[in-house]
Amino acid sequence: ETGVTQSPTHLIKTRGQQVTLRCSSQSGHNTVSWYQQALGQGPQFIFQYYREEENGRGNFPPRFSGLQFPNYSSELNVNALELDDSALYLCASSSSLATNYGYTFGSGTRLTVV
């Protein structure tokens, strides 16, 4: 059973650029959620994908977008990067939309926007 893998682990981008972060879900999981964690804060929900469809979104602007692929891996894309986008981006996979199922988290991608 593989865990959740995120890539890259660290990334430095310039304001205005675009970035793509990747996440492989745990084997058998069909739901992927993305979270943004600013320094010293708890993670904030960005959006969730279930069977390749967006299934919920937090309070993030449209320049945050995502994809889920047939193998349930996922991408997070951020356009027109801003300095405040600097954060740890976490991906979590789970096996069902229903509640009471556990989550497996990746180690995160630390994005720095300069």
Partner 1 sequence: KNEVEQSPQNLTAQEGEFITINCSYSVGISALHWLQQHPGGGIVSLFMLSSGKKKHGRLIATINIQEKHSSLHITASHPRDSAVYICAVEAGSQGNLIFGKGTKLSVKP
Q: Which of 25, 85, 94, 113 binds partner 1 (CB under 8 A)?
A: 94
For the chain, the maximum distance between any two Cα atoms, rounded to a whole number of angstroms, is 40
> Which residue(s) pair with 65 in the sheet?
77
Interaction of residue 56 with partner 1, rule CB under 8 A:
yes
Q: What share of the chain is helix, strand, coil (3-state, %, to 5)?
A: 5, 50, 45
Interaction of residue 22 with partner 1, rule CB under 8 A:
no
Residues that bind partner 1 (CB under 8 A): 31, 33, 35, 37, 40-45, 48, 55-56, 58, 88, 90, 92, 94, 96-108, 110
